[in-house]
Chain A
Amino acid sequence: MLPLRLVSLFFALGVAAGSGDQRKLNIESFEFIWTTIRDQYWDPTFGGLNWQAVHDELRPRMDKASTMPEARHVMREMIDRLGKSHFGIIPSDVYGDLDEREEGGGPAVTGIDVRVLEGKAIVTAVEDGSSAEAQDVRRGWEVVSVDGVPIAPALRRIAELDRDSTMLELHLARSVQAKLSGATGSHAHVEFVDGEGRHVTKQIERSEPPGALARFGYLPPMHVWFQSRKIAGNIGYLTFNLFLDPAHLMPEFGDALKSCAECAGVIIDLRGNPGGLGIMATGMAGWFLDRPDQRLGTMHMRQAPIKFTVNPRLPTYRGAVAMLVDGCSASTSEIFAEGMKDLGRARVFGTRTAGAALPSAIDKLPNGDGFQHAVADYMSEGGKPLEGVGVIPDVEVKLTREALLAGRDPVLEAAIEWMHTRK
């Protein structure tokens, strides 16, 4: 008979009321969400929240919801009561739009990466070969408006709403990115303030994001890319945008390390990486650890704790490791960085991460929407929760607009300097 214990391979996997029928499906979806959380939320006390009372309060509003937005609003309100990351509703039309565009991929982008520094949306990277590069957009420029809509009011609202949240930086950056993205071939009319303080307007064509389109269950399809190169003489630099598509990403990561066997150090840049498949962090950590039974942390599910145990991989990279993080590094990025830090195997540079590190699953709801729900709490190997706390870097280094305008990256520079000066 088929071996039954092969299920241990999967421990880790282990991430849209109108008509009467639609209303019925929405109510079924509401009940599905409530029941799933009742049965699977890792803390059976719900942190003191009366989960049954939440149901009884919101169900009458769900019964009355006559449009999809109203129905989603009630369902989101229910899951927001938990106050945790990794709970959300993914509208069914997201899947539809992405399926239709599968040839090209997900939402088109301008090639500009943005962080909000001191209340201003600042260009932190311009993708090689992008329309933004062709338009001579520079790092350090401030994004003032997109398609005639000023950026500042939205940033102020988010800053007020999330003022006590570790996810503030992530939400601010995503707000700007959402305005910059759009349909393939469309143009973003972006007003900048350049390094000289002049207002500059650019028409930037949106194109498909770089990388290969990856699918995983009911997660919307996303583009995944990986880059590696040598910098500052003999230091390996590795970066990637998501922990997905393991069939391609893991060999690329391993090959990059193998080609860097003699490097003075390796820098893994996780800034802006929102995570993905948690277990991939253990697979990557395996290249840096030579002893078995080492863990990045433990996932606490209601049924049992699951340890994020690292399998040592050969050849072990034994040189120095620096990891770069910021407030847009979330989830698996945090598990990877904090785990490597706790094991004494990496030094972390940058700013505090998003504190959004709950392992989650995505189910399809009866109404066609996706439902992301956290299934476990996560504790680092050092015994610290990451949710709502984030990874505190060993060396805090902030990006500044001035440094970006000068073509510098202070976080990367700090990591390089540490590698060159360490004994």
Chain B
Amino acid sequence: MDAHAKVKVPMHLRRKLIPLLLAALACSAVWAAPGEPLPKAEEILDKFVEVTGGKAAYENVRNEKSTGTFEFVGKGIKGTVTSYLADPNKSVTNVDLEGVGTMQDGTDGQTAWQNSSMQGPRIKQGEERAASLREATLRAPLYWRKLYKHVETVGQETIDDQVCYKVVLTPEEGQLETQYYDKKSGLMVKITMVVASPMGEIPTETILSDYKQEGGLRTPHKLQHKLAGMDFLVTLDHVDYNVEIPENKFDVPADVKALAPK
């Protein structure tokens, strides 16, 4: 993914080049055993739904609350994280870091926003907004057909001794995401993507592990993020479903609303 960030071409061309670059990377680093056909991405994504609880279990979910800890690995900076998701694509995440304060990220399904003690509030636009709305989708594994216009299995790759299928997903708006699914368990173990923000387009990698079953669904409780040379670790203590959430939980904060064009 680093290779994408280093290509010095205009943005619109760069976007067009990304699939080619991915293909090039796939040629150099990813292969299937001779004679072994790759499963279709559709099968892999549907299997993920099955192995994490099944369609019926997902359909029972009306909302989701995750709580845990957040750590800048090796930097001595720690905090807590709480995240809420609700139908159809509402979310709000609070991260409280020692020595820094509170950072928030959310959407009411229309307005996607961030607010931090250091930089203040802002409203996300364009590709960044689209990505936030997509990611806030409750029961997202069920809706990949709606969220992505194209999915394709491009090869196999070994991650921590697990042979994984590599699936490239193309959203309606925004950049490609690459997801890696363990061939044996069917669980997603890694995601790579380029996160767009006003601060730039940053290649990121997330390793998902420690899947636990709560409320009928298996979800990863350990998320190791790598971006811009930094490592972050999110460890979830609990993922609860169908909890009481105040009606106004997903309201856009007043200082964010004030930024909206009149």
Q: Given A282-B119, A303-B229, A306-B202 in contact, is the A314-B223 Cβ separation under 8 Å?
A: no
Proximity string of chain B (208-226) to chain A, C-beta cutoff 8 Å, 1 when within and 0 when not? 0000000000011001010
Contact assessment for B191 and A10 in the assembled complex, using a CB-CB cutoff below 8 Å: no
Contact assessment for B120 and A311 in the assembled complex, using a CB-CB cutoff below 8 Å: yes
Q: Does A286 contact B (CB under 8 A)?
A: yes
Chain B interface, number of residues (Cβ within 8 angstroms): 61
Which of B101, B120, B199, B206 is close to A11, meaning CB atoms less than 8 Å apart? B199
Pick the most buried of A247, A282, A304, A361: most chain B CB atoms within 10 A of its CB: A304
Which one of B34-42, B68-76, B148-156, B241-249 is at the interface? Answer: B68-76
Contact assessment for A10 and B230 in the assembled complex, using a CB-CB cutoff below 8 Å: yes
Proximity string of chain B (108-142) to chain A, C-beta cutoff 8 Å, 1 when within and 0 when not? 00000010111111100000100110011000100
Which one of B9-17, B18-26, B91-99, B158-166 is at the interface? Answer: B91-99
Q: Given A5-B132, A363-B74 in contact, is the A309-B81 Cβ separation under 8 Å?
A: no
Q: Does A4 contact B (CB under 8 A)?
A: yes
Q: Does B53 contact A (CB under 8 A)?
A: no
Residue of B nearest to A314 (CB): B258
Q: Given A279-B118, A292-B198, A314-B259 in contact, is the A246-B101 Cβ separation under 8 Å?
A: yes
CB distance from A10 to the nearest CB of B (A): 6
Which residues of A have CB within 8 Å of B227?
7, 10-11, 303
Q: Does A416 contact B (CB under 8 A)?
A: no
Which of B77, B195, B198 is close to A217, meaning CB atoms less than 8 Å apart? B77
Which residues of A have CB within 8 Å of B234?
2
Which of A7, A214, A215, A244 is close to B204, meaning CB atoms less than 8 Å apart? A7
CB distance from A383 to the nearest CB of B (A): 17
Assembly CA distance A417 to B219 (angstroms): 63
Q: Does A55 contact B (CB under 8 A)?
A: no
Residue of A nearest to B78 (CB): A217
Which residues of A have CB within 8 Å of B136?
3
CB distance from A289 to the nearest CB of B (A): 11
Q: Does A6 contact B (CB under 8 A)?
A: yes
Assembly CA distance A196 to B72 (angstroms): 55
Contact assessment for B122 and A311 in the assembled complex, using a CB-CB cutoff below 8 Å: yes
Which residues of A have CB within 8 Å of B200?
11, 304-307
Contact assessment for A363 and B229 in the assembled complex, using a CB-CB cutoff below 8 Å: no
Assembly CA distance A215 to B78 (angstroms): 11
Q: Given A11-B228, A303-B2 in contact, is the A247-B102 Cβ separation under 8 Å?
A: yes
Assembly CA distance A13 to B73 (angstroms): 12
The B interface, classified by DSSP as helix, strand, loop or mixed, is strand
Contact assessment for A293 and B103 in the assembled complex, using a CB-CB cutoff below 8 Å: no
Q: Does B60 contact A (CB under 8 A)?
A: no
Which residues of B have CB within 8 Å of A5?
105, 131-132, 135, 195
CB distance from A409 to the nearest CB of B (A): 30
Which of A1, A9, A361 is close to B114, meaning CB atoms less than 8 Å apart? A9
CB distance from B11 to the nearest CB of A (A): 14
Contact assessment for A9 and B100 in the assembled complex, using a CB-CB cutoff below 8 Å: no
Residue of A nearest to B112 (CB): A5
Q: Does A226 contact B (CB under 8 A)?
A: no
Categorize the interface residue count of chain A.
35 or more
Contact assessment for B236 and A2 in the assembled complex, using a CB-CB cutoff below 8 Å: yes
Pick the most buried of B116, B193, B206, B234: most chain A CB atoms within 10 A of its CB: B116
Which residues of B have CB within 8 Å of A309?
198-199
Q: Does A414 contact B (CB under 8 A)?
A: no
Q: Does B66 contact A (CB under 8 A)?
A: yes
Contact assessment for A217 and B99 in the assembled complex, using a CB-CB cutoff below 8 Å: yes
Which residues of A have CB within 8 Å of B5?
303-304
Contact assessment for A364 and B74 in the assembled complex, using a CB-CB cutoff below 8 Å: yes
Assembly CA distance A280 to B219 (angstroms): 35
Q: Does A302 contact B (CB under 8 A)?
A: yes
Contact assessment for A283 and B223 in the assembled complex, using a CB-CB cutoff below 8 Å: no
Q: Given A8-B195, A9-B114, A304-B5 in contact, is the A216-B121 Cβ separation under 8 Å?
A: no
Contact assessment for A283 and B118 in the assembled complex, using a CB-CB cutoff below 8 Å: yes
Contact assessment for B203 and A304 in the assembled complex, using a CB-CB cutoff below 8 Å: yes
Q: Please name 16 pairs of A and B residues whose Cβ atoms are closer than 8 Å in the assembled complex, sorted by A.
A: A1-B66, A3-B105, A4-B135, A13-B77, A13-B230, A40-B229, A215-B99, A293-B198, A301-B228, A301-B229, A303-B5, A303-B228, A304-B200, A308-B199, A313-B121, A364-B74
On A, residues with C-beta under 8 Å from B are 1-13, 40, 214-218, 244-247, 250, 277, 279-280, 282-283, 286, 292-293, 301-309, 311-314, 361-364, 375
Other contacts beyond A3-B105, A282-B119: 10, CB < 8 A: A3-B91, A4-B193, A4-B225, A5-B131, A5-B195, A11-B197, A11-B227, A218-B75, A247-B100, A313-B120
